[in-house]
Amino acid sequence: MSHTTLKPTAAPTGAAASGQGPRRVSGARRGREPRAIPYTLLAPAAVVLVVVVGYPLVRLVLISFHDYGLRSLFTGVSPWAGFANYTAVFHSADLVPMLVRTALFCLALAGATLVIGMACALMMKSLGRRMRSLMVFSLITAWAMPNIAATLLWTWLFQPTYGVVNWLLTQTHLFGDLRQHDWTASAVSGLFMVWLLVVWQSVPFVAVTLYAGVSQVPAEYYEAAELDGAGYLRRFRVVTVPFLRPVLLLVAMMSVIWDFNVFNQIWLLTAGGPHGGTSTLVVWSFTKAFASQSYGQGAAIAVLSTALLTVLMWYYVRRMVRAGEGL
């Protein structure tokens, strides 16, 4: 009679004893959780953007399709006008001059801001720590000045009879007696005065942003270019500019947006005059809506301006994304 020997089995321990073995997370669940995190983090900002920007924009588009005038403010009734407001805007004799003036003025502002901002950034990189800190402090102080306060200060500086700028120019004896000169009497001098103010307000942000980019360029690249016999301008062209291309596109895009929407400086300094010579699309939309009491046409001009700026920004964003991918 044979005896079967039974071997004792090891007692289950740990997770096996409790029946909880290692769980395997499915690949689909692993893929869903990280993808949902960015959308979850962006959701609050998206909600605020829709409420703050989305509703006014939709309301603006609706007003542009209605005959919304002074009577509508009291009665609350605005008849449907269809594309009549847009037709009136496109047939207006002011449309082409406004478009040309806005484009040239925006180009002059953005170009000067980028050139002067880049020069300030390169200057800060070459200065010592104390002088660089003083320069950054001065730029931040100018940038932090409220828009309205800076514009009123500019009005005092260029004021006839008592203006500091007129007095200083008169003391140089280069342009004759300018103490009674009115800068707002002509469109050219009025736009020049606004151009100086907007550039002065915009340069600090661009300069500090570009300095942050310039300070991140590795010094080895400059040393290698210098060993190859490259001068300062060539080092700037082959080293600095390629590294700063994404940052340059970013500040250029933001400068175009800001300069396209300049209103306070123009309205407080020249009120769009003389004879509309300093008006841009933004000022034209305001005067058409509130001076002519034609809110529908004012809204139509604002919608066209927004569409034009959106197309331009789409082009800039594509360039910026491609520049970032090329690094």
- Give residue-wise pLDDT tens across range 272-296: 988 889 999 999 999 999 888 899 9
- Counting the structural domains of the chain, the total is 1
- Domain of residue 222 covers 92-325
Helix 164-172 / helix 147-157 crossing angle, nearest 10 deg:
40
Query: From CA 177, how far away is CA 248, in angstroms rounded?
Result: 42
Q: Does residue 46 belong to any structural domain of this protein?
A: no
Here the CATH number for the domain that contains residue 295 is 1.10.3720.10
Q: Does residue 3 belong to any structural domain of this protein?
A: no
pLDDT value at residue 222? 87
**pLDDT < 50 stretches in the chain:** 1-19, 21-22, 25, 27-28
pLDDT value at residue 160? 87
Q: Does residue 230 belong to any structural domain of this protein?
A: yes
Q: Does residue 34 belong to any structural domain of this protein?
A: no
pLDDT value at residue 192? 94
pLDDT value at residue 17? 45
Q: Does residue 277 belong to any structural domain of this protein?
A: yes
Query: From CA 324, how far away is CA 222, in angstroms rounded?
Result: 21
Q: Does residue 28 belong to any structural domain of this protein?
A: no
Query: From CA 213, how far away is CA 236, in angstroms rounded?
Result: 13
pTM: predicted TM-score of the whole model, two decimal places: 0.81
Residue 305 corresponds to which tokens in the numbers above? 């301006």
pLDDT value at residue 193? 94
271 to 104, 196, 212: CA distances (angstroms): 19, 16, 37
Q: Does residue 44 belong to any structural domain of this protein?
A: no
Q: Does residue 165 belong to any structural domain of this protein?
A: yes
